[in-house]
Structure 1
Amino acid sequence: MFRGSSFHTIDKKGRIIIPSRFRDIIANTGQDLIMITRMDSCLFAYCMDEWTEIENKILHLPQKSDFMRRFQRIFIGSCQECKCDAQGRVLIPPALKKYAELDKEIVLVGVIDRFEIWSKQKWDHENEQMDIDLGDEQVRQEIAQLGL
């Protein structure tokens, strides 16, 4: 499971270093590949086995609304298979880099079944938004249901 946050930079070629604790999880799948797609103004990175499960869930959805077709088009259509190199780096495809506005400073955030790749500026905004959300009683009740 992916956990924790790491602050890094993206180089001029669009490569990022995957933290060793994340690389270990990827390596334990028996592959050096991850699938990266876009969502929520950042990038979602999945191990191949987890990605296969997501595709199967989407494939077997009972309804095909306009919204779900659009979601499939963007979420699946934007994904890229990315290989980890010998130095533990991954090249972020230009279209995904542009979508997430990855410029220099980035943050990699473990979110259990995936890790997310954020621009530091957007990550800071996400943290500020969480502070605001915690002021909402409904949000606090929803979090309390987790037993926290």
Structure 2
Amino acid sequence: MSTDEQAPSQITGQLKQAQGVLYQAVGAVPGTAESWTAEGERLQKEGADELDEARAEQKGEATVNRVWGKAESAYGMVTGDQTHLNEGNLKAEKGEWQNALADGQLPNPSWDRVKGKAQSAAGMLTGDQEMQKDGNMQAEKAEWTKG
């Protein structure tokens, strides 16, 4: 990609798709040039491709954030380093949200996972590392068992 090209964006991809639909509508009017329809089809495809590329990039970034966050959180848990534990949890959570939003959804955790996250957050706020650790373990267990 050249330096004057912008990174793929879901918004510009959707705008190109909408512009393509508009061009095709104009091309459907009797007496208009067929080039409107062809240009509309091209714009729709270009927009769809950009949207797919932007989603893939966002999901890749989400995976990196989630994996690094979980690793940092685990390091903090093992070493007793509250800062790494907190920062890791936040990065992992950010990655989870990024991944869901790339699919046009919100994260949909199980009830057990929500309870574990709440306990972890309470431990984070109070500085109770054991509570935070137990909450993390409950949330992770629920994620792995989908319970």
Please give the TM-score of this superposition, normalised by the length of structure 2: 0.25
> As a proportion of its length, which structure holds more strand?
1
Higher relative contact order (CA 8 A, sep 6+): 1
Taking structure 1 as the reference length, what is the TM-score of the superposition? 0.25
Q: When you count helix as a share of all residues, which structure comes out higher? A: 2
